[in-house]
Amino acid sequence: MIKRIISTILFLPFVLNAQSVKKVSLSEAIDLGIANSKNLKLAQNKIDEAVSKLEMVNDNALPSASASFLYNHAEIPENTFKGINLPNRADAFVGTASIQELVYGGNKLKYAKESTRLLANVARLDLEKNKEEVSYAVINAYFSLFKLMQSKKVIAQNLESIASQLQQAQKFFVQGIVTKNDVLRFQLQRANVSLIDLEIENNRQIINYNLDILLGLSEDSEILIDESDVALKSVETFGSYWNSALANRQELQQLDLQNKVAEYSIKTIRAEKLPTLGVGANLYYINPSAMGIIVPITVGATVSWNVANLWKNKNKAATAIIQQQEIGIQKNIFKDQLKTEINKNYQNYSLAVQKINILQTSITQATENDRLLASKYKNNIASVTDRIDAETLLYQAKINLEIAKADAGLAYYTLLKSTGKISK
């Protein structure tokens, strides 16, 4: 029984450590990032605020109604008026109820509804744009973590190889084949690579922590990358990405909506020149205590026209038209910037793929060079410097390849981000 308890205690740290390790795919990371983003929650509040304003505008379309009740008491010290005797005191009860409806106001209420609805859609596009930003931030951290983890794997292989070389050099030194300097050079190489490993581990912990925060995970969670997500993606034509950007880029859609809002603003200004028509009904309850009850009901219509708006709104409308034209110019400027952005990202991804192909060839060459130098060193033909240089070139090429893979993956998603739609 005691042995079982001891074994359980010894095994417990490994269980706890295993619970803090979480393998996360890229799609899962994006979903977690979106679900836990505080910026997106703030953007959602802005949408709720815009929808609330739209409801307020809709409420303004409803008829207005009011009711009031008045009680009045009067004392009459002098109550004789040309032979008519009035009471010494009197009480009066007066109640009113009215309802008013705007029949025609130059469609200003309709334009206000449409403008507010469009602004709510602009807020929704802000949310979509923020989702893309959050997704890209997660992707950036994800590939950064991949770089560091793959670099650590290569360095671990490098340290293992150096340990083997050091052991061999020590044997050669005992046999008198190499000098003490050879042993020291391998020890120095091991120390230098170990320092690089420490720096990479420190950066890995920083990126891992930042990613934990982004994804809403426990701060001590160790994230494992799904390496299948780093595989190269097939690239389409530049035209397909440009068309996708025209259809999906949120800024273009927002400018279109703002242009429509400007149209309604112009219509509202012009509508102010028109007369308005309203209808209403009023009910009065009058009960002087000494004279009986009177309940008159009135129904009427009101036509009003601010004639001065015919000349006062002229420049106001002209200003609104200029503002609308500015939106069109802004859209054209943004489209030019967008085209150059997509082209840049398209070329960067193509370049990243080419780098991978070159690095794969260089690894083959570096592997063969390392094998030859290892053989020459064993036969005391090559120097320790040549041996270390060959090994350093090989493992640097391996690290460069892993970094290039991550850069290519990020370049691909950067290209998709420029189209306004990362998920494809």
The label of the residue with tokens 């690095």 reads 359
Does pLDDT of 18 surpass 50?
A: no
Alpha-helix runs per DSSP H in 86-222:
108-175, 180-215
pLDDT in tens, 49-91: 766 766 765 666 667 777 887 777 767 666 666 666 666 676 7
Give the pLDDT confidence score for residue 79 in this predicted structure: 61
3-state helix, strand, coil in the chain (%, to 5): 70, 15, 15
- Nearest-CA neighbor of 94 among 289, 281, 285? 285
Please say if the pLDDT value at position 29 is more than 60. Answer: yes
Share above pLDDT 70 across residues of the chain, in percent, rounded to a whole number:
81
Answer with the residue of higher pLDDT: 96 or 199: 199
Least confident piece of the model among 162-171, 284-293, 326-335, 385-394: 284-293
User: When comparing pLDDT for 238 and 284, which is higher?
Assistant: 238
Q: For residue 68, what are the CA distances in angstroms to 94, 286, 293? A: 8, 12, 17
Local structure of 236: helix, strand or coil = coil
Q: Name residue, tokens 């503002």.
A: 323
pTM of the model: 0.76
pLDDT in tens, 139-173: 999 999 999 999 999 999 999 999 988 898 898 88
Residues 173, 179: contact at Cβ < 8 Å?
Answer: yes
Q: Dihedrals φ, ψ of 293, to 5°? A: -120, 140
CA distances (Å), 17 to each of 13, 95, 203, 220, 360, in order?
A: 6, 78, 20, 10, 36
Q: Which residues contact 393 (CB under 8 A, 6 or more apart)?
A: 366, 369, 370
pLDDT confidence of residue 188 = 92
Q: What pLDDT sits at residue 84?
A: 65
Name the residue with higher pLDDT: 104 or 307: 307
Cα dihedral value 303, 309, 311, 312, nearest 10: 170
Q: Rounded to an integer, what distance in angstroms lies between the CA atom of residue 95 and that of residue 166?
A: 106
Q: What is the mean pLDDT of residues 121-131?
A: 77
CB atoms near residue 8 (< 10 Å): 10
Structural domains of the chain ordered from first start:
25-71+104-418 (1.20.1600.10)
pLDDT-derived band of residue 104, with 50, 70 and 90 as boundaries? low
Given a contact cutoff of 8 angstroms between Cβ atoms, the answer to whether 191 and 406 are in contact is no
**In degrees rounded to 5, what are phi and psi of residue 22?**
-135, 120
- Give the pLDDT mean for 395-402: 92
Mean residue pLDDT across the chain: 81
How high is the pLDDT of residue 87? 67
